[in-house]
Amino acid sequence: MNILDGKKVSEKVLENVKERVSSLSKKPYLNVILVGDDAPSKIYVNNKRKAAEKVGIRSNVIELPSDTDEQTLLDLIKNLNYDDEVTGIMVQLPLPEHINKNKIVEAINPGKDVDGFHPENVGKLVLGLEPYFYPATPQGILMLLDEYNIQTEGKHAVVIGRSNIVGKPMAQMLLNRNATVTVCHSFTPNLDEIIKTADIIVSAVGKKIVRCKMVKKNSVIVDVGIFRDSNGKLTGDIDFDVVSPFCDFISPVPGGVGPMTIASLMYNASKVYI
């Protein structure tokens, strides 16, 4: 068993981003909008701010109260779209329920949509065209696989979870790399049987789901889940100690996909289209 060391690889990616930023004539300026006081979101946003600082990307975190109305947020995004100084905009999700997430995502200029969530970027991804930005988590996962020379072509990749942030773009990006992709979700009846045939498993569910007897020898396992177990310990979708002896590669939690997501977002934030 080999560890997919996201911490180590992310440092290498961040070094490259830093070098790239230092050579740019127009310096990137990332604006992150955080609405409300969701505790994990605050931590994620702070990590993004710190990573930006590390690679020389200017950043601005705009914190708004949870009762901010949709129009106020739309007006703010419009101003950021028009501001030539601002090269990247991201709105941290989840948003409070009274705000229509899709409307917000659609309002962002696709050339500044560092999350890669705008329909124009998603559409281009699906069509195999070049989007301005690829979503950070799946892009970070592919960077991690590339670092370990893990091939996707002709492999059976099983993606568990179908969110717009991870599952769907992950499946599409693996398909674009010639994997045979199966997407599983909470309505999939025969998950065990499907996972048994997987060469690559990407689990993005947020609960313990993959057990050792499910995985094929020589499989590659990527654990996107991150949550606290009943003892308050950070853990992923995969029972690492139990499953890891049965596979070829596995990403740990923490220290796997999490740091790669941040590094991948910084890679995006270093791209300047205006």
Assess 199 for contact with ligand GUN (CB under 6 A): no
Known catalytic residue: 115?
yes
Assess 104 for contact with ligand GUN (CB under 6 A): no
Catalytic residue selected from 5, 92, 124, 237: 92
Residue nearest to ligand GUN (CB): 93
Assess 212 for contact with ligand GUN (CB under 6 A): no
- Provide the mask over 221-260, with x wherever binding to ligand GUN is found by CB under 6 A and - wherever it is not: ----------------------------------------
Known catalytic residue: 92?
yes
- In whole angstroms, the minimum distance from the beta carbon of 68 to ligand GUN comes to 16
- As a three-state string, the secondary structure of the chain is CEECCHHHHHHHHHHHHHHHHHCCCCCCEEEEEEECCCHHHHHHHHHHHHHHHHHCCEEEEEEECCCCCHHHHHHHHHHHHHCCCCCEEEECCCCCCCCCHHHHHHHCCHHHECCCCCHHHHHHHHHCCCCCCCCHHHHHHHHHHHHCCCCCCCCEEEEECCCCCCHHHHHHHHHHCCCEEEEECCCCCCHHHHHCCCCEEEECCCCCCECHHHCCCCCEEEECCCEECCCCCEECCECHHHHHHHCCEECCCCCCHHHHHHHHHHHHHCCCCC
Residue 32 pairs in a beta bridge with 61, 90
Assess 31 for contact with ligand GUN (CB under 6 A): no
Give the range of 56-64, 72-80, 91-99, 126-134 binding ligand GUN by CB under 6 A.
Answer: 91-99
125-154 residues near ligand GUN, rule: CB under 6 A: 136-137
- Provide the mask over 155-194, with x wherever binding to ligand GUN is found by CB under 6 A and - wherever it is not: ----------x-----------------------------
Q: What would the two tokens of residue 200 be?
A: 């690559």
Known catalytic residue: 38?
no
Catalytic residue selected from 48, 112, 155, 168: 48
Nearer to ligand GUN, 33 or 198 (CB): 33
Assess 90 for contact with ligand GUN (CB under 6 A): yes
Residue type, 77: I
Catalytic residue selected from 113, 115, 199, 223: 115
Catalytic residues: 48, 92, 115
Would you tell me which residues interact with ligand GUN (CB under 6 A)?
A: 90-93, 115, 136-137, 165
